Amino acid sequence: MASAVDSATEKLSKLGIDAGFASSAPNLQRNLHILSAEQIELAKVLLETRQSHLFEHWAEPGVDDEEKKAFFDQVTRLNSSYPGGLASYIKIARELLADSKAGRNPFDGFTPSVPKGETLTFGDDSFMSFEDAGVKEVRKAAFVLVAGGLGERLGYNGIKVALPRETTTGTCFLQHYIETMLAFQDASCKLAEGECRAKIPLVIMTSDDTHSRTVELLESNSYFGMEPDQVKLLKQEKVACLDDNDARLAVDPRNKYRIQTKPHGHGDVHSLLYSSGLLNEWCDAGFRWVLFFQDTNGLLFNAIPASLGVSATRQYHVNSLAVPRKAKEAIGGITRLTHADGRSMVINVEYNQLDPLLRATGFPDGDVNCETGYSPFPGNINQLILELGPYIEELTKTGGAIKEFVNPKYKDASKTSFKSSTRLECMMQDYPKTLPPSARVGFTVMEPWLAYAPVKNNPEDAAKVPKGNPYHSATSGEMLVYRANSLILRQAGVQVADPVQQVFNGQEIEVWPRITWKPKWATTFKDVKSKVGGSCLISQKSTLVIKGRNIFVKDLSLDGALVIDAADDKEVKVEGSVQNKGWILENVDYKDASVPEELRIRGFRINKIEQLEKN
């Protein structure tokens, strides 16, 4: 024992730490000699921040020593992955918890108003010229997918990016995203002067919940055609849970030698990008934009060329993509907030905060639709386009730290204890909160049918969505892809039949012809227009799958299923009349466990009865 005490005393004196520092935690004091110098320093941080309870149940030296070391491994990770370390996390938590207890509104002093942005109408001249500008720029863009969320609201057991975007071809979200980026890369390079070897980088932010399955999905599919070095994964760490208003770190109920942790939110993406060094690498390689997007919006890339064109033309440092929002829809509202002292910013107000903010600032009805049938505040779809230079400049000041919030569920009105532990959270769209007034912050509003079809709600919750509001379910996620493609073809002159109404998993929805195409066939409206012509007709029960690059559809009359594929260097003309029994949608119940989960959550599966397949 004497030698253990000597070894601890020696380490402490080397560290310049007073031997009495651990007297408030006798169980820790007895174990000091098994810890390394770094671990002792972290122990000191914990005691200084009043966390001695973490050691109350520590056993005598010799018992559970490996667990004690593992505890400090975890503390090391929690400390190094948070800007400013654990001491900073605990300090901020105390401040935010005190504000929350006092009922202080984070928007105190601010009045909301409806901001002005760029509103685009699909297919008109201005849309087309923004698309042209966007395609030129996109080879200078890096894409960042935040995919660390578990998708608790959806309740799906796999990772969300592996879900089929639509089940006609079974292409999963990640495949569709990557193939679209590769199509952008090709189209943009063709417009470059001289030789262009641009490779659009893709970063995927994962978490412990999604990391290994994302790696597996990429590796088992040869990165869906991207070069492996084009794709980088950055894993976010969870943050420590808090048990009370004094920010006492919560002991994990499953292991007394661990701190309980929970996700910190998608806002982590900024500090991870900053610390990875990628931003400077991109800057040195001539990249100009960073585009952020989420895991399951099958229509998001329809909006990218035109909105990137808006960013480039309007010289926006920040451009948030938005769609008209239905009151109470679970998407944030883009709002101008003006402070009594004159400060003003355009920022997302999250869906759970918009109604109370409006009620507190002279709008007694809160979050309601106006005469247009929509909320006057555009809905944030969380696709952000940031200009790289100003982004690096800002992160150099902040280290990528994003203003956090805390949302404790109190046991009662005294607000002294929580129902369960809480933690700090942050959102990527809060990035503009720290920007100086000179920053050019704008937003672009697109039509919802074109740009937004997220998969977030499980069938039961989707069926309860107020009538007229979007379901945000696997059912709507797929059906809206067919609707968007049908409407795009209609605008290009194809006679696409009207949809029929059908009910799947309790959700009444329009069923359009199941039309899909590979991104290499078309990523802009100009592409689509150049590849369809004459007098084409597609009936409601039809399925059309276009897989090749140079496929020209002319004078086609389709009533059934047609699948066309062609090598990239071949030109193919599709014309004439195709009629067959086609592919039929059959209802399945979401509770029917005999059906694979991916299908069950949609409420239908496709019975491929008869088709014409041309290769």
Residue ranges binding ligand UGB (CB under 6 A): 146-149, 205, 207, 263-266, 294-295, 330-332, 348, 350, 380-382, 427, 429, 454, 456
CB of 87 to ligand UGB, least distance (A): 23
What's the min distance (Å) between Cβ of 266 and ligand UGB?
4
Of the two residues 205 and 291, which places its CB atom closer to ligand UGB in the complex?
205
Residue with Cβ nearer ligand UGB (149 or 408): 149
- Smallest distance from the beta carbon of 171 to ligand UGB, in angstroms? 18
DSSP H helical ranges for 25-144 = 26-31, 37-48, 65-80, 85-101, 125-137
SS3 239: strand
CA distance 542 to 606: 12
State the Rg of the chain over Cα.
27
CA angle 124, 130, 131 (to 5 degrees): 85
Q: Which is nearer to ligand UGB, 309 or 333 (CB)?
A: 333
CB of 271 to ligand UGB, least distance (A): 13
Q: Which is nearer to ligand UGB, 426 or 562 (CB)?
A: 426
Cβ contact 289:387 at 8 Å: yes
Q: From the CB of 30, what's the least distance to ligand UGB, in Å?
A: 38
Residue number with the smallest Cβ distance to ligand UGB? 149
- Give 205 or 562: the residue with its C-beta nearer to ligand UGB: 205
**Cβ distance to ligand UGB smaller for residue 8 or 346:** 346
Within a 10 A sphere around the Cβ of 430, how many other Cβ atoms? 20
Q: CA-based angle 1:69:45, to the nearest 5?
A: 95
Write out the E strands in 370-485.
375-387, 405-406, 417-422, 424-425, 441-445
Q: How far is the CB of 38 from ligand UGB (least distance, A)?
A: 28
Nearer to ligand UGB by Cβ, of 270 and 456: the residue is 456
**CA distances to 105, 108, 534 from 99, in Å:** 8, 11, 65
For residue 425, the minimal CB distance to ligand UGB (Å) is: 8
CA distances from 576 to 347, 428, 527, 544 (A): 52, 50, 22, 14
Least distance in Å: CB of 499 to ligand UGB?
Answer: 24
Residue ranges with strand state E in 271-332: 289-294, 318-325
Tokens coding 550: 């140079």
Task: Kindly compute the dihedral angle of the four CA atoms of residues 438, 345, 135, 180, in this order, to the nearest 10 degrees.
Answer: 140
Comparison of 245 and 457: residue with beta carbon closer to ligand UGB: 457
User: CB atoms < 10 A from the CB of 375, how many?
Assistant: 22
